[in-house]
Structure 1
Amino acid sequence: MRPGELLGSGRSADVYAFGPGRVLRRYRDGFDATGEADLMARLAAHGYPVPEVHRGAEPTPADLVLERLTGPTMAEALFSGAEPPERAGATLARLLRDLHALPGRIVHLDLHPENVLLTPRGPVVIDWRNAEVGPPGLDDAMTALILAEAAVGPYPLAERVLPALLDGADATLPDHLDEARARRAANPTLSAEEVARLATAVSLIHRLFTGEPQISL
């Protein structure tokens, strides 16, 4: 079966209609999605909210065939006013805690409002390409840093999401901010302008988390 209508595009992948009730997510760089599909199937078996994976229907290894979900992204709901920032932050914190409570020490490392769909069955987490085994504090730091980048850049609304996220975050989050910043800086999909905002974003997190600013040079 060939992919149908293009439904959306992210920084690294495109999503197409793919028959009744399904979508095909294709990485533009040819990244092999087999491991991501395996992980999502394991998470679903533990009851974690991910899209259902349809194995064996993938045209290429760079493809994921997933259930077609309905509902806006958390980011869309925030900007439309349908999702209060405080509730969004609390939801992100809960999704991270629930993930870290599962066996295997899996961390998402890219869990932010554009990667959460607000569906009739509740929030569903997508885009597991960056997932690996690691400490919860790093996962929380990555989410906080992505939000802080947005807050000190073109989306100041994101700052209102951060307090509730940080209230529910792992206590070791500040210890992992340097690594989170280095990972973000090395991300090839970030623009030079976005990388330049990282120091200010880290300082914002320190101010909100500890009450004291820290300037990262």
Structure 2
Amino acid sequence: MTTQGIADDDSEALPLLAVGTTADIYLVDEETVLRRYRDVHDATAEAALMRHVAEHGFPVAEVYSAQGRDLVMERLHGPTLLVALAAGEFNLHDGADIMADLHRRLHAIPAPRRAGDESAAGDDVVVHLNIHPGNIVLSESHGPALVDWANARTGSLDLDTAMSAIILGEVAVDSEGDYSRAARAMLVAFLAVADGNPLAQLDVAAQSRLNDPALFAGEKSLVVPAAALVRQYSRDVIIGGEPTAS
């Protein structure tokens, strides 16, 4: 077994480290993990974008190989920001600052150019489209680092900010959830410090969430009220002053 490719039979012997919505993470060794998508998937574009942002100094796991539905990557040691927030190791404003900082650093990276394409990239930057506390690892090697690059591409930074806001909003409007009040407060804090204008791409972000096949029906039912909450709080920020979570 090498990091150039891991056969299906070999992966069955690997410890299962985490289960995601579309992929599973296996422990290859203490410093290496295998991310394997469950369905037919080409992970090479994801790997290329991760390598691109790494070349610009962005905190991301090193990709060792990408083949078919497999990514073999550096293992990031450390808790997620979500776990750290739940444990009280960071307050919600600290968490919002970490999220906003990763947005700013990512959006400063120019869109990669295709071979032979000398045209200007316009306003497009690298966007992750899934930045939230559960996808931020407080790693020993890179500091706060982003994982789960399945949705990443080039696009508008406003869309990236809007997507993060809606994801926080979905938790905030879930009255049956354990973290509804905390998520509402963190959404307020994030909107106060995030770059870009989430209102400019809020409808696009909401439709993208509604079209996401990984979301269950119950989760999709939260998207529209979440977008309404983001719209309300964003307008408060634009008018001036930090909105009050209620």
Q: Tell me if both proteins adopt one fold, taking TM over 0.5 as the criterion.
A: yes
State the structure with more CA Rg.
2
**Change in 2 beyond 3 A, CA 1:31/1:100:** same
RMSD between superposed Cα atoms in Å: 1.5
* Residue number among 46, 49, 52 corresponding to 1:42 in the alignment: 52
Aligned twin of 1:184: 209
Aligned twin of 2:139: 119
Measure the CA separation in 2 of the matches of 1:86 and 1:17.
33
Measure the CA separation in 2 of the matches of 1:101 and 1:141.
17
Measure the CA separation in 1 of the matches of 2:173 and 2:189.
17
> TM-score of the superposition, structure 1-length normalised?
0.91
**1:14 paired to 2:36:** no
Alpha-carbon contact 1:49-1:124 (below 8 Å) kept = yes
* Residue number among 92, 107, 116 corresponding to 2:127 in the alignment: 107
Alpha-carbon contact 2:161-2:196 (below 8 Å) kept = no
- Letter aligned with residue 132 of structure 1: R
Q: CA deviation at 1:52?
A: 0.9
SS at match of 1:118: strand
Deviations 1:120-161 (A, max 9, x none): 241010111111111100000000000100111123121121
Gaps of 5+ in 2: 2-9, 112-124, 238-246
Aligned twin of 1:215: none
* Residue number among 236, 239, 244 corresponding to 1:211 in the alignment: 236
* Residue number among 147, 172, 175 corresponding to 2:200 in the alignment: 175
SS at match of 1:124: strand
**1:77 paired to 2:84:** yes
Q: CA deviation at 1:191?
A: 1.4
Q: Structure 1 residue runs of 4+, over 4 Å off?
A: none
- Letter aligned with residue 6 of structure 1: L
> TM-score of the superposition, structure 2-length normalised?
0.81
Gaps of 5+ in 1: 213-217
Deviations 1:163-215 (A, max 9, x none): 22112223421121100110000011111111111121112112222129xxx
* Residue number among 152, 165, 183 corresponding to 1:158 in the alignment: 183
Alpha-carbon contact 1:93-1:164 (below 8 Å) kept = no
Q: CA deviation at 1:80?
A: 1.9
Deviations 1:27-82 (A, max 9, x none): 11131111111111111111000001112xx5x51111111111111111122222
SS at match of 1:48: coil
Total equivalences in the alignment: 209
SS at match of 1:69: coil
* Residue number among 64, 69, 73 corresponding to 2:71 in the alignment: 64
